Structure 1
Amino acid sequence: MARAVELAARGHGTTSPNPVVGCVVLDASGEVVGEGFHAYAGGPHAEVVALAQAGERARGGTAYVTLEPCDHTGRTGPCSRALLVAGIARVVVAVADPNPKAAGGAARLRAHGVSVTIGVLADEAARANEEWLTYARLGRAHVTWKFAATLDGRSAAEDGTSQWITSPEARADVHRLRAASDAIVAGIGTVLADDPHLTARPTLSSTDPGAADPGRSVRRPVRVVVDSRARTPRHARVLDDSAPTLVAVADDTDTALKADLLRLPRDAHGLDLDALLRELAARDVVSAFLEGGPTLAGEFLRRGLVDRVVAYVAPALLGSGRAALGAAGVGTIAGIHRLTFDEISPIGPDVRLVARPVTQPGREQ
């Protein structure tokens, strides 16, 4: 199962709106005879890839799969049937499928005499698939908040300049994370101050799985500007044709802005951000990469809508200037947003920190 989890991770960033899944098939004697992972939406599922590799040696064997085999016909057939046709005798599953449209594979397999075990390395498999599980369980896009700052937590100097706090290596890593996301989100303050492109510069490469497949298109994450009063300048770079763009405005805003508008209700603190994430999910956005700026990040945190934090910290000090995070609903130390570290690693001269809330919304059943 550990190998299946490792395989699943290879599909990260290319399978939306489908999950990442890995599969390992053993023959009746326990020898590995097939491996596979889901590489891209519309392509063969992990079980199908692994079974094709195993061939007749799968009969009487065991399949280890990170997510319960699907039991419905979409762009591909049900994996539960593929396992039955292959003659698999036992299936070991890490995580049950929370999607009611696809779930039921375990029950079908058991009904046909296949031994099924669920829950092996469940935490590890769920971590590899956390974006999709948030999307499937909560009905909203998973949110990663990224920021870059000095050691004293400043994201810009007093005059507003911020290029460049971090190194080229850190900036290249940010583009890698952008390219693995379905949407890149920024607030109107960032658009007005920096006029960013919000694009992912390394895109699909020839070394990526399925890159040459005619059924797979190059991903361009949708750019989302949170702009309740529709103040986005019509010549802003975020409105160019290098990637699709949504401008989220309040549903009572009167505007002549020529853009794809996403009208949302207001709440006590501005636009309803939970509604934003649900609308994005309805457009097959599984993962959202939140970048700018401190005010919007504070609002996402205030509402419990940040699932993961990626911070790039430079060995530098400013002493004054813009903080990386704005007001986040904390009035006293008892209300502090506690996180746990997943990763602390050097990247060029900087350090990358990956953390998540102690109570992770996407793990709720």
Structure 2
Amino acid sequence: MPDVSWALGRAAELAERGPQHGGNPRVGCVLLATDGAVVSEGWHRGAGTAHAEAAALAGADPGRLRGATAVVTLEPCHHSGRTPPCTRALHAAGVARVVYAVGDPDPVAAGGARWLATRGVEVLTAEDAGVPADVSGRAADLTAAWASAVRRRRPWVVGKTALSLDGRVAAADGTSRWITGAAARNHAHTVRADVDAVVVGTGTVLADDPALTARRPDGTLAEHQPLRVVVGRRAVPPQAALRQAPGDWLHLPTRDLRTALDRLWDAGARRVLVEGGPSLLSGALREHLVDELHAYLAPVLLGAGLPAVADLGVPTLADAPRWRPVTTRTLGEDLLVVAHRPQGDL
């Protein structure tokens, strides 16, 4: 068999080029000839574009596809939506073997492996093909958030806070701009540009009047703008900046974030950023709705002021949930810590 371990690692590299917004998973595909040579590569570039397998097939010499092996990070879909099923395209091209890292959790699109197998295509999971766990695990990580959202039928929620070394998001007089430096703020905009929706409470709108747009370091608007969502019963002022910015915005007159997330799921959002203030973030944390936490830590001490998180109902240290650190990154003088919620809370 061609070197599928290398090919799956390469497919994961390709998948990382795709966006996390748009409702679809990031997927990469490498097509290998019978002698192990790379025939073609492809990745999914976003909703409405060709899936990774179709992109790879489109770039291949048809004469080299007979008997080829397709190595894919996610099980090929067997669903007709905005694009045709990848299973039929692979079968029609003469691909003889498919190796995939992760099964498709979406009942609408799943079943591709079984369909291919019943038509004489050899189908193997990465584990069955002998791919090392670290390689297949990297591919699985690419779809973990999306797969979790699909299984729960609720968006993957990223919570964001920017705080001082002593855990404050504003000084005693209420000033909060800017705790972090330009590098951290620029990074936060890249996160906005890679989610389907950004959510704040009415308190943040009234106090800070944010535009909630995703901007590049030079101040220009990013190509993708998330849906701007305000949660709360108070009215959004007609002159609010988020009303004037390009793109769509939505006011959900509820204090129940779970209900708001259900609405956003129905609207197609699969990755949501909760950005709006300690009250909203604390409520989301208390309800175990935050899946991924981004904490931008600035080297400043305030000693007093608004805490980053309100009471979470933790009576003693032994009961405090231990989040799982995923990455740490220096951004100028600031530090970004990304952590996932405890596995037991998923």
Q: Normalising to structure 1: TM-score of the pair? A: 0.85
Is the 8 Å Cα contact of residues 211 and 245 (structure 2) preserved in structure 1? no
> Which string of whole-angstrom CA distances, capped at 9 and with x for unpartnered residues, describes residues 212-245 of structure 1?
xxxxxx5321111111x22432322122242311
Q: What is the match of residue 222 of structure 1?
A: 227
Cα offset, 1:324, TM superposition: 1.1
Q: What's the Cα RMSD here?
A: 1.8
Q: What is the match of residue 23 of structure 2?
A: 17
Give the alignment of 1:117-132 within 5 angstroms: 117-120=124-127, 121-132=135-146
In structure 2, relative to structure 1, the CA distance for the partners of 1:360 and 1:67 (3 Å cut) is: farther
Is the 8 Å Cα contact of residues 66 and 125 (structure 1) preserved in structure 2? yes
1:249 aligned residue (239, 246, 253): 253
| Residues 1:32 and 2:38 are matched in the alignment | yes
| Gapped regions of structure 1 (runs ≥ 5) | 209-217, 251-270
| Residues 1:291 and 2:275 are matched in the alignment | yes
Is the 8 Å Cα contact of residues 31 and 71 (structure 2) preserved in structure 1? yes
Is the 8 Å Cα contact of residues 196 and 238 (structure 1) preserved in structure 2? yes
Q: What is the match of residue 232 of structure 1?
A: 236
Q: What is the match of residue 56 of structure 2?
A: 50
2:74 aligned residue (38, 53, 67): 67
C-alpha distance in 2 between matches for 1:194 and 1:90:
56
Q: How many residue pairs align between the two structures?
A: 327
In structure 2, relative to structure 1, the CA distance for the partners of 1:340 and 1:154 (3 Å cut) is: same
| Percent identity between the two aligned chains | 46
In structure 2, relative to structure 1, the CA distance for the partners of 1:360 and 1:197 (3 Å cut) is: farther
Is the 8 Å Cα contact of residues 67 and 97 (structure 1) preserved in structure 2? yes
> Which string of whole-angstrom CA distances, capped at 9 and with x for unpartnered residues, describes residues 273-310 of structure 1?
22211210110111111112111111111111111011
Is the 8 Å Cα contact of residues 23 and 271 (structure 2) preserved in structure 1? no
Is the 8 Å Cα contact of residues 135 and 281 (structure 1) preserved in structure 2? no
Q: What is the match of residue 254 of structure 1?
A: none
C-alpha distance in 2 between matches for 1:17 and 1:131:
11
Cα offset, 1:29, TM superposition: 0.8
Report SS of the residue matched to 1:313: strand
| Residues 1:198 and 2:212 are matched in the alignment | yes
Cα offset, 1:119, TM superposition: 4.5
> Which string of whole-angstrom CA distances, capped at 9 and with x for unpartnered residues, describes residues 42-89 of structure 1?
111100111222322222121111111011111111100111111111
Q: What is the match of residue 168 of structure 2?
A: 154
| Residues 1:316 and 2:300 are matched in the alignment | yes
C-alpha distance in 1 between matches for 2:332 and 2:65:
46
> Which string of whole-angstrom CA distances, capped at 9 and with x for unpartnered residues, describes residues 91-136 of structure 1?
1111111111111110111001111112545532232123321221
Q: What is the match of residue 273 of structure 1?
A: 257
> Which string of whole-angstrom CA distances, capped at 9 and with x for unpartnered residues, describes residues 14-64 of structure 1?
5x1222111011100111221110002111110011122232222212111
Is the 8 Å Cα contact of residues 179 and 202 (structure 1) preserved in structure 2? no
Q: What is the match of residue 131 of structure 2?
A: none
| Residues 1:78 and 2:85 are matched in the alignment | yes
2:325 aligned residue (341, 346, 349): 341
C-alpha distance in 1 between matches for 2:121 and 2:152:
31
C-alpha distance in 1 between matches for 2:118 and 2:83:
22
Q: Which amino acid aligns with 2:159?
A: W
C-alpha distance in 1 between matches for 2:40 and 2:278:
47
1:181 aligned residue (195, 204, 214): 195
C-alpha distance in 2 between matches for 1:291 and 1:116:
43
Report SS of the residue matched to 1:10: coil
| Residues 1:105 and 2:112 are matched in the alignment | yes
Cα offset, 1:359, TM superposition: 1.1
C-alpha distance in 2 between matches for 1:74 and 1:125:
24
In structure 2, relative to structure 1, the CA distance for the partners of 1:245 and 1:70 (3 Å cut) is: same
In structure 2, relative to structure 1, the CA distance for the partners of 1:178 and 1:239 (3 Å cut) is: same
Q: Which amino acid aligns with 2:321?
A: H
Q: What is the match of residue 130 of structure 2?
A: none
Deviates more, 1:102-111 or 1:331-340: 331-340
Q: Which amino acid aligns with 1:100?
A: P
Is the 8 Å Cα contact of residues 134 and 361 (structure 1) preserved in structure 2? no
C-alpha distance in 1 between matches for 2:41 and 2:194:
23
> Which string of whole-angstrom CA distances, capped at 9 and with x for unpartnered residues, describes residues 235-276 of structure 1?
2212224231111113xxxxxxxxxxxxxxxxxxxx332221
Is the 8 Å Cα contact of residues 299 and 327 (structure 1) preserved in structure 2? no
Report SS of the residue matched to 1:309: strand
Is the 8 Å Cα contact of residues 31 and 69 (structure 2) preserved in structure 1? yes
Report SS of the residue matched to 1:289: strand
| Residues 1:142 and 2:156 are matched in the alignment | yes
1:4 aligned residue (1, 4, 11): 11
Cα offset, 1:360, TM superposition: 6.7
Q: Which amino acid aligns with 1:5?
A: A
In structure 2, relative to structure 1, the CA distance for the partners of 1:28 and 1:108 (3 Å cut) is: same
1:169 aligned residue (183, 186, 191): 183
Q: Normalising to structure 2: TM-score of the pair? A: 0.90
Structure 1 stretches of 4+ with a deviation exceeding 3 A read 119-123
